[in-house]
Structure formats: structure tokens, C-alpha cells
Amino acid sequence: MQPSQHDSGLTTPKATDLLRLYPIGGSLFTSPRRTVLTLGRHATLAHGPADTLAQRAAQLLRQAQAEGLVQPILLGAVPFNAQAPAHLFIPESTVQGRGAGETALPTQAESNSLRDISSEALPHPDRYRDNVAQALSQIGEGGLDKVVLSRSIKVDANIAVPTLLQRLANRNPSGYTFAIDLPETDGERRTLVGASPELLLSRRGRQVVSHPLAGSIPRSSDPLEDARRAEQLFGSAKDRHEHQLVVDAVVAALGPYCNAVHVPSGPSLVSTPSMWHLATEIRGDLADGECSALELALALHPTPAVCGHPTAAARSFIETVEGFDRGFFTGLVGWCDASGDGEWAVTIRCAEVGEHTATLYAGAGIVAGSEPHLELAETSAKLRTMLSAMALESVLEGAA
């Protein structure tokens, strides 16, 4: 791998090339705009106060430049709980290439040999429905407007991360596919792998973009039913209310940093292979060119799309009833360079993959009018993104 090769002219690698080159122990982030493939560690950001994270990251990038690293970038992930340690580092070597766009990858044969593997769901589906019912009670009493409740499934299986990455990128090339090498736990190598459909924040010069998703419905394999569901979602007052809570929060968070924030008059529909989502692309004109993509992303995090509204009450409810530690799920994943440009996606449709196990995550936004069984079905549909890419969809039979 060559150090710090950037996207210039005809020599710029394609996303497909870099996906094929991805090695175990490396890290990769690909978006419609750019693909970043890295190896090794030049420096790792030490844990410190959450409110100085962006400043400490910028200082680490400046230090890397002073040490002679050409055009360094910072890559990694920030957890849902901003007080927990982030995993951000400057790679020893980096290759940057074109974005994934609509480029299809060769389809790899999917194995059915792991059909009867063991799995553990936290919380159990019955408990999850109870959690949703508790949330609806809190909403009815006026303590919450929205809260996002999640599930996790741990499977015992040997997952080939390179193959998983290629399948994820092939299924949704317009999304944000990533594999971040994590610190070992109990001697086991771990990788944060996913294909997020949601851009938290990108910065390019003084132009910033956030593309929140909120309000969802599972897709159908029948074209007529699929179109009906999309129309149902687009016209749903409940889902539009859920979506507007997120849009308002993003606009409010970006406002202090921007001379102007541009918001469409209403949401649009965005699809992934498994879900329809309401989406709004929000654009801003930065007032201060020194404000980095990471600083802006942290100002937005966590949005009501992954936590709820009001934020403090929703976070407290999640910690009390959800039943597991989200870790990096519903945090942010991406990169930032020394100029402040970068891309940070919301860490959803993801799994933490070890050498012999994998833990998958999915959540759903709960607002007035939500129904426990439908929210459970939504989380199952979202889990299917990763499980189908692992050829493990049968796991849902006992956890839906």
C-alpha cells in the first residue's frame, strides 16, 4: 500500500479496486464521493474529555504533519455515549480513491452452511415489545416526544470480513460502507463493519451537508406492495412528525456554525434493499472555515434519529430500559483531514465482528402512534441487511 495517495486524475483507484485490496487488520470507508483504505497506525488519539475531542483530533493531525506524514487523515469511530472512549487514529499508510457511486461488484456465492448456528437476542423480542410499550406510556405522559429503542443479536459464526464488505457495498453502493479495525478484546481481533444509509455530516470547504433519515417501513419483494408501502410512509403523519423532530434538531445544531442553512420544503423517499426511509438533505454555508467536519458532526450527535427528543430524557430512558451497551452502534464513523474536510456517517446497519462471533444491532424510533409489534418488525427488517450479507437470515426466525 502506498502512503497518502490521493484522488488525482487518471491514477485514482476505483472503489471496487480498493474493496478488493482490503486486508484484515486494515480499515476502509467508502461513500458516493470517496473511498479511503488504510493500513497500520501512525498515531492513536488518547481518551480524554468528550468536549475536547475535535480539538485533540485536530492537534494530532497537525502533529502528524510536523512529523512528515503527507496529507494525513484521521479515521475511526465515536460511540453512542460520547463520554465513552472514541477509536480515532491516523493511519501509517493511506490510499484514497473514487466513490462507490453506482458501480456494481462481482456477486459472490452465498453459503447456506451456517443455517443452524446459535444466537442470542438482547433484549428478547417480548422484552423489546414491552420496552416500546413503556416508551409509549412515557410519551403519553409528556415526558418524551420520541425515543429510539434498539436490539442486538450475537451469533456464533466465523464471518469473512472482506467478503462481507463486498456484499454490503454491492447491495447499496450509494451508502457508506465501512470496516474499522478495533482494539483487541480478550485477545480477539474485532472489526466494526456496516453499510450505513445515513450521512450525519460532510464538509467540503465551507459547504456542509447532513442527510438525516427518520420514519421507516420495511420493503416488500412484491413491486406493487412495495410501492404501496412507500406511498404509505410518505403520507404518514406519525412518520412525518418523527422525521421533523430530527430535521429541526439538525438545523438548530448547524445554525450557530453557518451563515445560512438550506432546508427543502418537505422530506423525500430514500430506499435501501430492505427499507424505505423519509430523508431530508440539509445544506449549510460555514461561517468559519476552521470548523472541522468532526467538530460539526459531534455538535449534531446524537440526533433524534438515533436517540430521541428531548435528548437528555431519551438517553436516560435508553440507559434504563434497553438492556445492553450500544458501543459504537448509533455513534459516528468516518474520516477527517488536516484541512477540516471529511465525511461522518451514522453507525447503523452494522455489526461488531470478531474471529468467532458477531454482534449485530438495529433500532426504531418510537413516537405517539407507534405499535410495539410493528417496531419489532422494523428492527428485524433492519437486521436483515447484515444477516443477509452474512448469509445468516435464518437467525431471525427465532428472534423476530
- What count of Cα atoms within 13 Å lies in the side-chain half-sphere of residue 258? 24
Written as one letter, the residue type at 138 is Q
Pairing status of strand 207-211 against strand 282-286: antiparallel
Q: Which of 9, 27, 21, 162 has the alpha carbon at shortest distance from 98?
A: 9
Q: Which amino acid is at 231?
A: E
User: Distance (Å, rounded) from C-alpha 281 to C-alpha 266?
Assistant: 10
State yes or no: cis peptide before 310, omega within 30 of 0: yes
Cell (9 digits) for 226: 412495495
Burial (CB count <10 Å: 0-12, 13-18, 19+), residue 7: middle
> In 169-274, where do the E strands start and end?
176-185, 188-196, 199-204, 207-211, 213-218, 258-262, 268-271
- What is the largest distance, in Å, between two alpha-carbon atoms of the chain? 60
Which residues touch 322 (CB under 8 Å, ≥6 apart)? 123, 131, 149, 150
For residue 266, which amino acid is it? G
Q: Copy the grid coordinates of residue 395.
A: 437467525
> Cell match 456554525: residue?
257
What gap in Å lies between CA 294 and CA 109, rounded to an integer? Answer: 38
Q: If 0-12 CB within 10 Å is exposed, 13-18 middle and 19+ buried, where does residue 400 land?
A: middle
Select from 278, 299, 308 the least CA-distant residue to 150.
308
Say which residues have a Cβ less than 8 Å from residue 235's Cβ, sequence separation at least 6. Answer: none
Active site residues: 146, 198
Partners of 150 in the beta sheet?
Answer: 363
- Do residues 211 and 279 touch, judged by C-beta distance below 8 A? yes
- Radius of gyration of the chain from its Cα atoms, rounded to whole angstroms: 20
* Residue 312 three-state SS: helix
